[in-house]
Amino acid sequence: MATQLPPELTRAALYQLFGGLLLECASEQALRDIHDQELLPTLAATAPDPGLSEALLRMHRALASDASIEQLRAEHAQLFLGATRSKSPPWESVYLSDEKLVWQGPAYAVLNSYVRAGFGYDGMTSVPPDHVGRELMFVATLAVESANAEDEDRGAELAAARRAFLEEHVLRWVPQFASDVRKNASTEFFQALADGLAITLRTEAEGARAA
């Protein structure tokens, strides 16, 4: 029987997974490893929502053949690479700034959130800080660091930073991004990833409203 993680740590694992897959195109070997090591079924077994479990299992099944892996790697570039060429631009600035371009006000606000929380940021020249993958992985990091903090005040500070970042950034645009990915994706893998991300964010928002 799978060990049930606390809800925030379950979501942290999901954000880490989704963020990593969106940030850069995983190698063929990495995708085969995700399938062969049964990572997605393991997460599905602990997911708090049946629809999320099914989305994760769909992602797993989509990695079953070399042909499907090659297809989804090609689609990653079509969906996410290039601010003007991509079908689903993965930057907060493109969604929320008046200019609809990268490196606008939201990017610097996100970078400020990273710095305030006490985390550095590598790769600024290659990947803007408001890339969806960076944002999701930051939320995951805050959840894990908060849970593991030895100092109670530091743990509370990180938990508050996580909630604020979700409300001020992620929940303002990533649900629409996930919807766009779902609409534009042709592979089952990215359609399922979009569904899983949307469900995760919906349960996050519902939990925030209930708190």
How would DSSP label each residue in 37-73?
TTHHHHHHHH-SSHHHHHHHHHHHHHTSSHHHHHHHH
What's residue 144's pLDDT? 95
Residue 74's H or E segment, with its range, is helix 66-80
Backbone angles phi and psi of 103, in degrees to 5: 55, 45
Please tell me the predicted confidence (pLDDT) of residue 11. Answer: 87
d(CA 58, CA 90): 22
| The one-letter amino acid at 175 | P
pLDDT value at residue 84:
65
Query: Across residues 48-69, what is the average pLDDT?
Result: 95
Coil/strand/helix, residue 34: helix
Pick from 9, 11, 15, 27: nearest CA to 134: 15
Q: Which CATH number fits domain 7-210: 3.30.70.890, 3.30.200.20, 3.40.50.2000, 1.10.3480.10?
A: 1.10.3480.10
pTM of the predicted protein model: 0.93
